[in-house]
A and B are shown apart, each in its own frame.
Chain A
């Protein structure tokens, strides 16, 4: 009887095996069918419908992590964040090193305004396992992390991530341009310029890269380079107003700056006197617009101080004095900066020549510091 039992057991094992095999095949097919429906709904932005379909798919294929991932994505899209988090955390428990799961959890934490968790999951995703094209995936995650950090206003952390990212960039002009723009956002203009230069080496027909390089050069006060890059940017994209304005300012800086190297004494004095007259004209115009009489004994607020300095300086502003006293040009340009700043505070954004004078003053101040 025992032998019969064992024999019967073997037969039943075989029959059950076949039955289960067929059952699994049917379940798999059903899961696949519901998954496709869900995918179609998700592609058509019908997130709620996709959630139902993926739910059904997951019931028929409980082990299928792809279905579960899609379900979690659909739940995120349908704004069922808590539910999506539960699914993702369950997936995470099984595969803590899975890049996709960590990325989705990071996004979820970002949406739930939990930056520390988001950064943790982003880093897990960067160092996690990716099934296909891992380098590209990791790069994209780091870019996303940078964007997130920029959104959070954490420039230092974003800059660190960008520097790490810079070392592993492939020869892709668009990518270099994108990273360059992000470096500009964190105000790391030298790294930004480097990235735009790399982009231009790979593809010189990118107006964005020319404009970015011009902006970066402009910000580090390399106006000669800025003019060159911005000129190219404007040539390629004439509608780029910002680039055109910065080009104009760069050109004016180069024309007006009395501290430029290799200028003759005459030219320096001429530029100093021209700068003074330009700034004075702007100050007067601004005072007039604000209804302030500069000639009056008691001129209003900041105008009074600066105008008294102007009146002291005005008799000295001539070529012979400037030649006799080499330090006068420095004092003169300090006053120019004072006038321009006062006018800017009172009357807002100055015209290009005055903006150029402000840039010259700032550059000199930075250099001296």
Chain B
């Protein structure tokens, strides 16, 4: 089997990290000298301080990154919104060649959007992202996006932030665990600055990178996101990413139009995922020498598109802004959405580094605007604004394409600053998300990671996975249950007819103990037949379980006990069932089989055949 790291240049090589604790002591001593408040002298305090520093560095990097993209665009394509034909065709093509050269010869790890690379760093390489990746990502993405490739700067910003955090963590000789934790902190900072929206960034990192609300990093993520946004606003101003028009829901029946937007957005997301994953797979399978020319070929095709539709070039924030302000007809909006999907799929699958966030927002805004425009024509009395639909559309694509439902709702709320938009957003996003999940079980980023030959943890699968409970493994209490008041002789008589060896003993106090057939036989022989079990037995109390507890709890508690009682939460003597180690393992086994069957169903027939044993 080939080593995925060697086979795939997207994945950095692992590196052993030194983690001597003496460095922490040295930092503490220095901070003590600086009379830093006591709070910061603890590990948690230092970690939070480091999060702020990461946020500041990431904020600065993203400010420079955005300026670099803009400068590149102005220098290469000119300051006009509609550059001349020669520039439109030549610039992305030549820049594509340069990007290919840089990616293949200088920065082989900067391919892709940056989200999966950050996840790989967290889950495979203990948070290790080489600093050269940060520089490479910065340069190649600025060149690619600035020259008109249909990609966005958000996901690269996320990786740049994570890379900065990783580099700082390593320079500070943090422990392996801390470096692993700190990469998502930087990712949140980078994304927050790129979006100028800290809440969405925090949620995205939790929803897509970490996958859980971990108190260990939540505070640090929030602090880094806030500090990076502060830096961005300090340098580039308070203006949000888009000037969002005022929104109000004119009539409840308008929600039907938003539901229609959810359906259209859901299917558009499906088409987008399928096209980009198909083209990416095909371009990866092409001969090696074509990889030098793929970004240039994508640039040429996008340039040709740009002659007629210059709006599809670049990240497209200006165009989204125009769509939010009702500046296009619905037919043009549909056309822009279709061509943006095509252009982005070409750019991304060619191996050009760049993000998918901005194109997803672009497609969503165009589709939303189109639905709003159609509503205006056919139902003018409803009176909803096209800008409102475009705004909700952005969230719809985020939910359906990126598959981050929580982030998609909060992103629209954060961008609009208007709570009244919540109803349409929730309806549209939920519909789009459900359609996407139904027809495309594997989310976009997981699809990419599988195409790259890695198996990064799928946050969506984790969310969707049903947690096994004790009730999934327990058996009904068919066995004889003895009472502590029973005499040894009576108990011995009751159990003699059964083949079982192990019996539960219920105490009035709600405690449970156990006894074996052998114990009872011995006690009778010793002449203690008339004694109650409670007095005659000296076995320790049994741990008990409740039916709604996770099965993991049963596994932890069962130890060497052959059987554990599962009791009612409000009546400790009420035995609901029993569970043994074999029952627990059987439940896990059944669940794993089910999971594997589901996973197999998501693979193509060729992949399924390859996995099938000879």
Within 8 A of A (CB), among B297-354: 318, 322, 325-327
Q: How far is the CA of A12 from the CA of B245 in the complex (A)?
A: 36
Spot the interface stretch: B8-16, B67-75, B542-550: B67-75
Spot the interface stretch: A81-89, A155-163, A297-305: A81-89
Q: Check: B538 CB closer than 8 A to any chain A CB.
A: no
* Best-surrounded residue of A12, A26, A86 (most CB of chain B within 10 A): A86
Q: How far is the CA of A64 from the CA of B168 in the complex (A)?
A: 39
Select which of B235, B246, B385 is within 8 A of A16 by beta carbon.
Answer: B235
B327 touches A83 (CB 8 A): yes
Within 8 A of A (CB), among B457-481: none
A16 touches B239 (CB 8 A): no
Within 8 A of B (CB), among A9-58: 9, 12-13, 16-17, 19-20, 23, 26, 30, 33-34, 52, 55-56
B81 touches A2 (CB 8 A): no
What is the minimal beta-carbon distance from B216 to any residue of chain A, in angstroms? 21
**Interface footprint category on B:** 35 or more
Q: Check: A6 CB closer than 8 A to any chain B CB.
A: yes
B81 touches A55 (CB 8 A): yes
B81 touches A59 (CB 8 A): yes
Select which of B31, B67, B322 is within 8 A of A19 by beta carbon.
Answer: B67
Chain B contact surface mostly: helix
B237 touches A90 (CB 8 A): no
Given contacts A20-B235, A62-B243, A83-B326, contact A13 B71 (CB under 8 A): no
Residues in B neighbouring A82, C-beta threshold 8 A: 326, 386
A89 touches B246 (CB 8 A): yes
Q: Check: B604 CB closer than 8 A to any chain A CB.
A: no
Select which of A6, A55, A60, A89 is within 8 A of B245 by beta carbon.
Answer: A89
Q: Check: A168 CB closer than 8 A to any chain B CB.
A: no
What is the minimal beta-carbon distance from B244 to any residue of chain A, in angstroms? 8
Residues in A neighbouring B327, C-beta threshold 8 A: 80, 83
Residues in B neighbouring A20, C-beta threshold 8 A: 63, 67, 235-236
Chain A residues bordering chain B, tally (CB within 8 A): 32
Q: Check: A1 CB closer than 8 A to any chain B CB.
A: yes
Q: Check: B394 CB closer than 8 A to any chain A CB.
A: no
Q: How far is the CA of A20 from the CA of B74 in the complex (A)?
A: 15
Within 8 A of A (CB), among B1-52: 23, 27, 30-31, 49
What is the minimal beta-carbon distance from A209 to any residue of chain B, in angstroms? 47
- Residue-by-residue, is B153-178 near A (CB-CB < 8 Å gives 1, otherwise 0)? 00000000000000010011100000
A5 touches B53 (CB 8 A): yes
B235 touches A12 (CB 8 A): no
A63 touches B172 (CB 8 A): no
Q: Check: A296 CB closer than 8 A to any chain B CB.
A: no
Residues in B neighbouring A90, C-beta threshold 8 A: 243, 245-246, 325
Residues in A neighbouring B172, C-beta threshold 8 A: 1-2, 5
Select which of B56, B71, B387 is within 8 A of A9 by beta carbon.
Answer: B56
Residues in A neighbouring B387, C-beta threshold 8 A: 86
Given contacts A2-B172, A3-B30, A56-B79, contact A86 B60 (CB under 8 A): no
Closest to B66 in A: A23
What is the minimal beta-carbon distance from A216 to any residue of chain B, in angstroms? 46
Q: How far is the CA of A60 from the CA of B74 in the complex (A)?
A: 11
A62 touches B81 (CB 8 A): no
Residues in B neighbouring A30, C-beta threshold 8 A: 74, 79
Within 8 A of A (CB), among B535-590: none
A59 touches B64 (CB 8 A): no
A62 touches B245 (CB 8 A): no
Residues in A neighbouring B173, C-beta threshold 8 A: 1
A23 touches B326 (CB 8 A): no
B245 touches A9 (CB 8 A): no
Given contacts A5-B168, A86-B387, contact A19 B74 (CB under 8 A): no
- Residue-by-residue, is B239-263 near A (CB-CB < 8 Å gives 1, otherwise 0)? 1000101100000000000000000
Within 8 A of A (CB), among B436-459: none
B residues with a Cβ closer than 8 A to A are 23, 27, 30-31, 49, 53, 56-57, 60, 63-64, 67, 70-71, 74, 79-82, 168, 171-173, 235-237, 239, 243, 245-246, 318, 322, 325-327, 385-387
Known: A19-B64, A52-B82, A90-B245. 16 other contacts (CB 8 A): A5-B172, A13-B60, A16-B60, A16-B63, A16-B64, A17-B235, A20-B235, A23-B71, A26-B74, A30-B79, A34-B79, A52-B81, A55-B81, A83-B326, A89-B245, A90-B246
16 intermolecular pairs with C-beta atoms under 8 Å apart? A1-B27, A1-B172, A3-B30, A5-B168, A9-B57, A13-B60, A16-B235, A20-B235, A23-B67, A34-B79, A52-B81, A63-B237, A83-B326, A86-B245, A89-B245, A90-B243
6 nearest A-B pairs in the assembled complex, by CB-CB distance: A86-B325, A20-B235, A23-B67, A30-B79, A16-B60, A12-B60
